[in-house]
Amino acid sequence: MTAVSVPTSTKFDLGPARALLCRECGNETPLAPEYACLECFGPLEVAYDFGKIRREDIEAGPRSIWRYRGLLPVPSTVEQHPNTDPGGTRLVEAHNLAKALGVRKIWVKDDTGNPTHSFKDRVVGVALAAARELGFKVLACPSTGNLANAVAAAAARAGWKSVVLVPSNLERAKILMSAVYEGDLIAVDGNYDDVNRLAQELAAENEDWAFVNVNVRPYYAEGSKTLGYEVAEQLGWRLPDQIVVPIASGSQLTKVDKAFRELGQLDLVEATPYKVYGAQATGCSPISAAFKAGHDVIRPVRPDTIARSLAIGAPADGPYVLDAVRRTNGAIDDVTDEEVVEGIKLLARTEGIFAETAGGVTVATAKKLFESGQLDPDAETVLLITGDGLKTLDALGDTIGPRATVPPSAEAVIKALGSPR
Amino acid sequence: MTAVSVPTSTKFDLGPARALLCRECGNETPLAPEYACLECFGPLEVAYDFGKIRREDIEAGPRSIWRYRGLLPVPSTVEQHPNTDPGGTRLVEAHNLAKALGVRKIWVKDDTGNPTHSFKDRVVGVALAAARELGFKVLACPSTGNLANAVAAAAARAGWKSVVLVPSNLERAKILMSAVYEGDLIAVDGNYDDVNRLAQELAAENEDWAFVNVNVRPYYAEGSKTLGYEVAEQLGWRLPDQIVVPIASGSQLTKVDKAFRELGQLDLVEATPYKVYGAQATGCSPISAAFKAGHDVIRPVRPDTIARSLAIGAPADGPYVLDAVRRTNGAIDDVTDEEVVEGIKLLARTEGIFAETAGGVTVATAKKLFESGQLDPDAETVLLITGDGLKTLDALGDTIGPRATVPPSAEAVIKALGSPR
């Protein structure tokens, strides 16, 4: 799988992006609206010629992901077009959580602060910028939640049409969250797999539709690198010892790893060793299962978990996740739905951060990996919290509520506070 | 109402704060855990000795509201204690919204990016910092929504106990949003007025409880100034021509005005003229009614509107709102619940920003004020969007939804898109 360097040229201004490179056979092809290798049908990834990039130039940039535009497949003029300007979210030192887990130092990267409150704004931002340059006219996706939000909002802001496909049995609240932007939200009678297949078919038939996670995927996926860049910059331009990343398709984990490697290669940080850890819900844990069994092949599963934003039974980037985790001496584990809920509540109680179920997966898996000794309690650990608890309120069920319901008297309040929980 | 300068001293380090000043009789009292004038029972406000403050010092500060700590009643060490680090939210140039309204230039200050997705994180952040210095041990509030969220989260992060009182008939989703932080959330059988009276009683009886919007209110309210500071800094250190602010108690509007005046007095911006506009829901519009009638006295009303975060029938800062609006030659208007929903949808459709009902009030009132000629379409206008649509999903009712529900076939999707809406 060595890259075969062939002369490439492009008519597109996608900044430092040089070509598309097949992750399987290494074949290089010019930058284009493609996503599968013409030689072997393997997935394509963006390759770069970065040139010299300095910390000062990044630091002088905007607060959004566009401060890293020199590291992304987007035009240098990206900021001149309306977009949601994602990124620049908090990196919170989690003293109370570290204390609760009995470990030295934990940082929480809180991506709920993005415009539509998940990391999907990052990938959609990059996809939109690349799609514009590549000549697409419509922003589209299949989704069951966060991505639908991000695409509908980004298209509205950009003045583009959007086509968002969701399963018709999606919760009403999630439909409203995306429908409010008044793009073309279409409910499809079928499950997410049906919707995804439909997106592939529509992408093939409508050449100016950019399905961000299908035919624009090589560009889209690069947006996740910005999570890695931000963490390193917010730590004072250095890499953490350990980072725990939730796994859906697995793309995010591989891109955070890619970001850390790039920063080292570009001398933007010292290339210190780091370990990448993956987190799954047991009800959809094909990569965790393969990791534990020492397999290289991922056996698809039928998802059954409350962590619906991670519920991809046949994760496209599974093998690359295994590579990254094994290369960095990390690990992968999975947690039950009960542990997910406990993870959400632990983070909320200790740090005042309300994560969606995927965040509960990350926190609970980190707890488990500390307990098993696979995460080092004396090292510094970063947890990626990629989505917002307001979007998955149902998952908390009846596990929380008021401490007491009382008549309007001060005495009643004091009495309620004094009673055992 | 001229300030009577008397010698004051304090044992508290509250940064540039010098004293508490009665807004009614001008009596000055040392900084203390007080909120009502000992002479006339008027509301107290923080007075300052700022000294020299330079743009460069602010710009070198953190991204949060603490970059303005030299302008707030908080210790200089405020950042050393865990807090939610609110602020630093986007100021978005709203090209599409301006075009839709037929006006020259609109900026949207999008405070949904705060840690619990409303501006309340700002005021609670300042209240917590001041409360710590003043010797309080418990963070508390009466609330029906955003404030409950912000207090519960901030207390969790700080490692403080919290007591949050809400009406027991509050929607289940809103109870969950605050209960997840596992402070002492108490449901009270009664309406918000009952809960508020109960808070006053409890504040009097429990001297180490900081009810942020009751007995810590003078400090708490100053947090809203940061919205004004941020807008001016993000505009490149200048004041906008016009700003539209939603009104609940009215505190926020008066503090944004105060912030603009301070920036001019401190030579941080040129003291150019600006006009402050207020926005209310017609179902709770006592200040708008007084403004239109030319009255100085606010007649309390019984709120009946979907904009529940603005539903204060007897707004404490009403007279000061009238003063600020009249002094700056602004105006106040109000909009129906139907217009509120249209305002939410207009902002989402044009800019990809999903605001709560209060944001719908702001957008719809701005539209009305442009149409009546009270807002100048050729001037530059800032709209404050202070809370998140995810918190008021119910308000959208059946007005939005999928464009169509179709079987899983490409043909069916294309047909649905081609049909009239």
Reply yes or no on whether the pLDDT at B158 is more than 50: yes
Chain A residues with beta carbon closer than 8 angstroms to that of B179: 400-402
Chain B residues with beta carbon closer than 8 angstroms to that of A88: 63, 88
Q: Report the pLDDT value the prediction gives residue A225, as an integer from 0 to 100.
A: 98
Sign of CA dihedral A115, A116, A122, A126: negative
**Across the interface, which of A159, A198, A408 has its CB nearest the CB of B190?**
A408
**pLDDT band at residue B1 under the 50/70/90 scheme:** very low
What is the DSSP-derived secondary structure letter of residue B75?
-
- Arithmetic mean of pLDDT, B275-282: 98
Alpha carbon B267 to its chain's center? 25
The reply to whether B90-117+224-396 and B120-216 are identical in fold is yes
* CATH fold of the domain at A120-218: Rossmann fold (3.40.50)
- Arithmetic mean of pLDDT, B176-204: 94
Distance to chain A for B21, nearest Cα, Å: 30
Q: Report the pLDDT value the prediction gives residue A10, as an integer from 0 to 100.
A: 61
Q: Report the pLDDT value the prediction gives residue B397, as an integer from 0 to 100.
A: 82
Name the average pLDDT for chain B.
Answer: 95
Return residues 129-188 of A near B (CB < 8 Å).
152-159, 163, 165-166, 168, 173, 175-177, 179-182, 184-188
Q: Report the pLDDT value the prediction gives residue B4, as an integer from 0 to 100.
A: 42
Alpha-carbon distance A359 to A213, whole Å? 21
Residue B402 to residue A186, Cβ atoms within 8 A: yes
Which CATH code for domain B120-216? 3.40.50.1100
Distance to chain B for A162, nearest Cα, Å: 11
**pLDDT band at residue A9 under the 50/70/90 scheme:** low
Which CATH code for domain B90-117+224-396? 3.40.50.1100
Reply yes or no on whether the pLDDT at A7 is more than 50: no
Distance to chain B for A238, nearest Cα, Å: 19
Residue B408 to residue A344, Cβ atoms within 8 A: no
Helix (H, G, I), strand (E, B) or coil at B393: helix
Q: Which of A80, A181, A197 to mutate to test the interface with B (most CBs of B within 10 A)?
A: A181
Q: How do residues A133-175 score in pLDDT, each as one tens digit?
A: 999 999 999 998 999 999 999 999 999 999 999 999 888 888 9
Residue B96 to residue A201, Cβ atoms within 8 A: no
Residue B413 to residue A175, Cβ atoms within 8 A: no
Poorest-pLDDT segment among A3-7, A404-408, B388-392: A3-7
> Are A64 and A86 within 8 A, CB to CB?
yes
- Arithmetic mean of pLDDT, B170-188: 93
Residue A180 to residue B396, Cβ atoms within 8 A: yes
Going by C-beta distance under 8 Å and a sequence separation of 6 or more, which residues neighbour residue A286? A280, A298, A299, A300, A301, A313, A314, A315, A318
Least CA distance to A183: which residue of chain B? B349
**Angle at which helices A120-134 and A146-158 cross, to 10°:** 50
Q: How do residues B135-148 score in pLDDT, each as one tens digit?
A: 999 999 999 899 99
Return residues 330-349 of B near A (CB < 8 Å).
344-345, 348-349
Residue B88 to residue A88, Cβ atoms within 8 A: yes
**Across the interface, which of A184, A405, A409 has its CB nearest the CB of B168?**
A405
Which residue from A72, A22, A420, A106 is spatially nearest to A262, judged by alpha carbons? A72
**pLDDT band at residue A378 under the 50/70/90 scheme:** very high
Distance to chain A for B14, nearest Cα, Å: 25
SS3 for B402-415 is CCEEECCCHHHHHH
Taking residue A11's Cβ as centre, other Cβ atoms within 10 Å add up to: 9
Alpha carbon B192 to its chain's center? 18
Distance to chain A for B314, nearest Cα, Å: 20
Name the average pLDDT for chain A.
Answer: 95
**pLDDT band at residue A2 under the 50/70/90 scheme:** very low
The tokens 């409508």 sit on which residue? Answer: A206
Residue A404 to residue B186, Cβ atoms within 8 A: yes
Residue B345 to residue A195, Cβ atoms within 8 A: no
Q: How do residues A307-331 score in pLDDT, each as one tens digit?
A: 999 999 999 999 999 999 999 999 9
- Arithmetic mean of pLDDT, A224-249: 98
- Arithmetic mean of pLDDT, A355-366: 98
Share of residues in chain B with pLDDT > 90 (%): 92
Return residues 88-117 of B near A (CB < 8 Å).
88, 90, 92-93, 95-96, 110, 112-117
Q: Report the pLDDT value the prediction gives residue B3, as an integer from 0 to 100.
A: 41
Alpha-carbon distance B324 to B245, whole Å? 12
Least CA distance to A394: which residue of chain B? B173
Domain ranges for chain A: 90-117+224-396, 120-218
Burial of residue A310, with CB atoms counted within 10 A of its CB: 0-12 exposed, 13-18 middle, 19 or more buried: buried
Return residues 38-77 of B near A (CB < 8 Å).
63
Going by C-beta distance under 8 Å and a sequence separation of 6 or more, which residues neighbour residue A318? A250, A286, A287, A290, A298
Reported as type and span, the H/E element at residue B175 is helix B172-179
- Arithmetic mean of pLDDT, A375-386: 98
Alpha-carbon distance B370 to A195, whole Å? 43
Reply yes or no on whether the pLDDT at B386 is more than 80: yes
Q: Report the pLDDT value the prediction gives residue B9, as an integer from 0 to 100.
A: 52
**pLDDT band at residue B6 under the 50/70/90 scheme:** very low
Distance to chain A for B271, nearest Cα, Å: 27
**pLDDT band at residue B389 under the 50/70/90 scheme:** very high
- Arithmetic mean of pLDDT, A227-252: 98
**pLDDT band at residue A398 under the 50/70/90 scheme:** confident
> Are B127 and B116 within 8 A, CB to CB?
no
Which tokens sit at B98?
């301006």
Q: Report the pLDDT value the prediction gives residue B172, as an integer from 0 to 100.
A: 84
Helix (H, G, I), strand (E, B) or coil at A133: helix
How far apart, in Å, do the first and last CA atoms of chain A sit? 59
Alpha-carbon distance A249 to A183, whole Å? 26
Distance to chain B for A115, nearest Cα, Å: 6
**pLDDT band at residue A419 under the 50/70/90 scheme:** confident
- Arithmetic mean of pLDDT, B9-23: 90
